[in-house]
Amino acid sequence: MNTSLPILPTISTTFIVLSAITVAIGWYLIKQRKIEAHMKAMTVAAIFAVIFFIIYASRTIFIGNTAFGGPADIEIYYTIFLIFHITLATVGAVFGIISLVTGYKKNLKRHRKLGPITSVIWFFTGITGVVVYLLLYVFYSGGETTSVIKAILGF
């Protein structure tokens, strides 16, 4: 088990967890018919998700992605899981934007249909994100980190 955790992945993972928790709170609030509180919670969840994305994208561009550093015999399972997580996160982000827009525009018929699906997807995105973090930085030491700029420009 790794005893030294990298600061930016730890911070960004914290924000995605906060986003998922806040989505769960927002879901609870709407079940209680507390519409104003629901809107505030979902707005905060979106802000947490945007903060995560800014940290993640900045780190990926300037510092880089960290390769899986665990045993070679489970790397394929990690890669499949990572692809699942990335797909879930992408779908969740698109659904999240649509859900926020439909909610703010008071298109409640569409929002009520899409919101619960979005919430479940986003919650599982948070969970799978934590698993990716644990596999990359806690259970195993991360592999090589290469920045996108370095990879593109060949430095």
pLDDT of residue 71: 94
H/E element, 145: strand 145-146
Distance between first and last Cα of the chain: 32
Q: Indicate the pTM of the whole model.
A: 0.87
Q: Token pair for residue 39?
A: 């809107």
| Mean pLDDT over each residue of the chain, to the nearest integer | 91
Q: Token pair for residue 142?
A: 């991360």
pLDDT of residue 30: 96
Which residues, in sequence order, are bridge partners of residue 145? Answer: 66
H/E element, 32: none
Top pLDDT among 11 and 148 is at: 11
Plot region of 64 (φ>0 → left; ψ -120 to 50 → alpha; else → beta): left
pLDDT in tens, 40-66: 999 999 999 999 999 999 988 888 888
Distances from the Cα of 112 to the Cα of 14, 42, 92, 108, 118, angstroms:
28, 14, 16, 6, 10
